[in-house]
Amino acid sequence: MTAKKFDYLINGDKSKWEVIIGLEVHAQVLSKSKLFSPSPTKFGAEPNTQVSLVDTAFPGMLPVINQFCIEQSIKTGLGLKAKINLNSVFDRKNYFYADLPQGYQISQYKNPIVGEGEIVLDMPYGTKKVGIERLHLEQDAGKSIHDIDPDNSYVDLNRSGVALMEIVSKPDLRSPEEVNVYVKKLRSIMRYLGTCDGNMQEGSLRADVNVSVRKVGDKKFGTRCEIKNVNSIRFMQLAIEYEARRQVELLESDKKVNQETRLFDTKKNATRSMRSKEEAHDYRYFPDPDLLPLKLEQSLVDKLKKELPELPDEKKERFIKEHNLSPYEANILVSEKEISDYYEEVIKKCDKKLATNWITVELFALLNKKNLSILQSPVSARNLSKLIKMITSGKISGKIAKDVFVKMQVDDKDAEQIVEKEGLIQQSDPKELEKIITKVISNNKDKVEQYKSGKEKLFGFFVGQIMKASEGKANPQLVNEILRNKLK
Amino acid sequence: MSIDKDTVKHISKLARISLDDKKIANLSKDLSSIMKFIEKLNELNTDKTSPLTSIINASLKSRSDEIRDGKIRDQILKNSPETNKEFFVVPKVIE
């Protein structure tokens, strides 16, 4: 159970309120061609160049389903540990909009391809299981552009008919932070599976957010509002914060929350009602007569299950066991498949603990600063591994390693070559070190006196001077040892 | 079940079909009698029958994931009442 101090509660004037959140995530299936037509799905093409007569709903055109999209949703279902429905049905969801030429969206209503599953979230207060209600396949609509012309809207149908997986969670989420972790985990699972690229900037992952509030202790859910089509985690969080407060204010002033569709205005950080959607909400679903029921063979599901890659949860367990990582470290390293691949490449030839630190601290700081993904890392895994090996073997000090790391960032310059060329090898010869130390001591006789009379803080000063004199190359452990003896 | 005039109006609005009052009255009568005829089926006990979505005893045929269409913008836009050579142009629709 959730520890009290982590509860996300809205403090109203009269009572404390709990926030109940459910998410409908629309994830674009990673496929070359569309769900029911063979036109391309690539992002960023010239408007209306990836459109066929099927996508524009010309009379007589018939949909033919993309086998790969079916398999992609089965894989995603298996990744969510969900039940795969061997029989599912495609329905028409009817509504009028300029970017929906068919006048209906082909979706799945009563019989989705994937049933109940779950996602495990790692929260600061422990793991939390969030139920998945269902996953179904559906078509995306086109894109309307409203800001080119003051009197008209422009319609681009490139996205029309692209396959989406709608992944519906149970109302198990309780805070904006849980929503953050949930979306990231779902995204990570799909990226491991290769079923969705999770690129939120390009609209491959968007969500409808269902929000309701109830007094702490109440069992019954309140009336919910649905905030449509939010396309970033930050906006989801802001929308939830605003919407929960709005509902609490209504309820505390004895007003009702209307069940309605709302829009998140990213400029005002507020949600507002989409009244026009209300009447259109009558979708008149019915089975699409152009499409037969989708029957799957259990053997196909079994085959896909066998081919499933190692997923973040399993990888995390393995990292903890095999590499002796803390759950926190393991979480960071498995959050993206590319990061875990990088880590496993680095530790092939060097100390695991040190590698974890170098990746999560130095490398991540570098990537953050330059706004790069790990695949674009200026320092290759093999090269970082070489650097770490030189630290553990005592060839260079940790401090020098940081300087070498900076130099490695230019063209992934070889760590060993940098060290050799610039003569950065750690000075571990006691005789050489003694020479330097004696010199520093004789140059600072006054400080030696002060040290001996009790000012022990000065030890650090001497170490600093010695490091400086050795150009940072002195082996710090040996320096400590020798210096302590000398100052006795 | 009878289909009253308000229901006919609602459906016609959703379907973007404009009807005058006389037609609405006639349709209400016609649709109600059609519904009544269909309701005959309710007399049949279907407790042990699962819903049928297709009368054809076959499964959905699929295609492989290959790009075999697109790049026909001129042909597609040719059929639109208004275009700007790149986009379909429609009356402003915005929330």
Do A162 and A283 belong together in one domain? yes
Do A267 and A121 belong together in one domain? yes
Report the percentage of chain A scoring pLDDT > 90.
83
Residues 6+ apart with CB under 8 A from A445: none
Residue A67 touches partner B, C-beta closer than 8 Å:
yes
pLDDT score recorded for residue A4:
55
Is A282 within 8 Å of B90 when comparing Cβ atoms? no
- pLDDT digit of tens for each residue in chain B (95 aa)? 789 999 999 999 888 899 999 999 999 999 999 999 999 999 999 999 888 888 888 889 999 999 999 999 999 999 899 999 999 999 998 75
Q: Which of A275, A73, A45 is nearest to A142 (CA)?
A: A45
Q: What is the pTM of this model?
A: 0.88
- Please determine, for residue A325, whether its predicted confidence score (pLDDT) is greater than 60: yes
Question: Rounded mean pLDDT of A221-245?
Answer: 96
The residue ranking higher by pLDDT, A3 or A409, is A409
Closest-CA distance, B61 to chain A, in angstroms, reads: 7
Domain that holds residue A475: 430-486
Is A49 within 8 Å of B71 when comparing Cβ atoms? yes
Closest-CA distance, B17 to chain A, in angstroms, reads: 12
Do A186 and A40 belong together in one domain? yes
Closest-CA distance, B18 to chain A, in angstroms, reads: 15
Residues 6+ apart with CB under 8 A from A20: A171, A173, A174, A211, A212, A213, A214, A221, A222, A224
Do A94 and A33 belong together in one domain? yes
Is B90 within 8 Å of A153 when comparing Cβ atoms? yes
Mean residue pLDDT across chain A: 94
Confidence of residue A88 (pLDDT cuts 50, 70, 90): very high
Residues 5-64 of A with CB under 8 A from B: 31-33, 37-40, 46-54, 56, 58, 64
Do A333 and A369 belong together in one domain? yes
Is A154 within 8 Å of B88 when comparing Cβ atoms? yes
pLDDT score recorded for residue A2:
45
Question: Rounded mean pLDDT of A385-412?
Answer: 93
Interface test mutation site (partner A, options B53, B54, B85, max chain A beta carbons within 10 A): B53
Domain C-terminal end among A254, A280, A304: A304
SS3 B80: coil
pLDDT score recorded for residue A1:
44
Domain C-terminal end among A273, A304, A335: A304
Q: Tell me the pLDDT tens digit for each residue of A431-443.
A: 988 899 999 999 9
The residue ranking higher by pLDDT, A280 or A293, is A293
Q: How many CA atoms lie within 13 A of A279 on its CB side?
A: 11
Question: Rounded mean pLDDT of A87-106?
Answer: 94
Using CB atoms, pick whichever of A89, A144, A293 lies closest to residue B93. Answer: A144
Is B86 within 8 Å of A96 when comparing Cβ atoms? no
Q: CB pairs below 8 Å between A and B: how many?
A: 142
- Please determine, for residue A3, whether its predicted confidence score (pLDDT) is greater than 70: no
Residues 294-323 of A with CB under 8 A from B: 294-295
Residues 6+ apart with CB under 8 A from B83: B77, B89
Using CB atoms, pick whichever of B10, B16, B89 lies closest to residue A152. Answer: B89
Report the percentage of chain A scoring pLDDT > 70.
98
Instruction: Report yes or no: A68 and A36 within 8 Å, Cβ to Cβ.
Output: no
- Please determine, for residue A251, whether its predicted confidence score (pLDDT) is greater than 80: yes
Is A155 within 8 Å of B59 when comparing Cβ atoms? no
Interface test mutation site (partner A, options B71, B75, B78, B84, max chain A beta carbons within 10 A): B71
pLDDT score recorded for residue B1:
79
Instruction: Report yes or no: A40 and A158 within 8 Å, Cβ to Cβ.
Output: no
Residues 6+ apart with CB under 8 A from A123: A6, A177, A178, A181
Q: 3-state SS string over chain A? A: CCCHHHCCEEECCCCEEEEEEEEEEEEECCCCECCCCCCECCCCCCCCCCCCCCCCCCCCCCCCEEHHHHHHHHHHHHHCCCCECCEECCEEEECCCCCCCCCEEEECCCCCCECCEEEEEEECCEEEEEEEEEEEEEECCCEEECCCCCCEEEEECCCCCCEEEEEEECCCECCHHHHHHHHHHHHHHHHHHCCCCCCCCCCCEEEEEEEEEEECCCCCCCCCEEEEEECCHHHHHHHHHHHHHHHHHHHHCCCCCCCCEEEEECCCCEEEECCHHHHHCCCCCEECCCCCCEECCHHHHHHHHHHCCCCHHHHHHHHHHHHCCCHHHHHHHHCCHHHHHHHHHHCCCCCHHHHHHHHHHHHHHHHHHHCCCHHHCCCCHHHHHHHHHHHHCCCCCHHHHHHHHHHHCCCCCCHHHHHHHCCCCCECCHHHHHHHHHHHHHHCHHHHHHHHCCCCCHHHHHHHHHHHHCCCCECHHHHHHHHHHHCC
Q: Spell out which residues of chain B touch residue A64, defining contact as CB-CB under 8 Å.
A: 61-63
Domain C-terminal end among A304, A325, A356: A304
- Please determine, for residue A301, whether its predicted confidence score (pLDDT) is greater than 60: yes
Do A322 and A451 belong together in one domain? no
Do A176 and A201 belong together in one domain? yes
Do A479 and A417 belong together in one domain? no
- Please determine, for residue A72, whether its predicted confidence score (pLDDT) is greater than 80: yes
How many domains would you assign to chain A?
A: 3
Do A469 and A404 belong together in one domain? no
Closest residue on chain B to A48 (Cα): B73
Do A343 and A411 belong together in one domain? yes
pLDDT score recorded for residue A274:
84
Interface test mutation site (partner B, options A89, A90, A97, A153, max chain B beta carbons within 10 A): A153
Residues 6+ apart with CB under 8 A from A190: A27, A76, A79, A196, A198
Q: Tell me the pLDDT tens digit for each residue of A139-150.
A: 999 999 999 899
Do A296 and A435 belong together in one domain? no
Question: Is CATH 1.10.20 the classification given to domain B5-43?
Answer: yes
The domain locations on chain B are 5-43
Question: Rounded mean pLDDT of A290-304?
Answer: 97
Do A322 and A410 belong together in one domain? yes
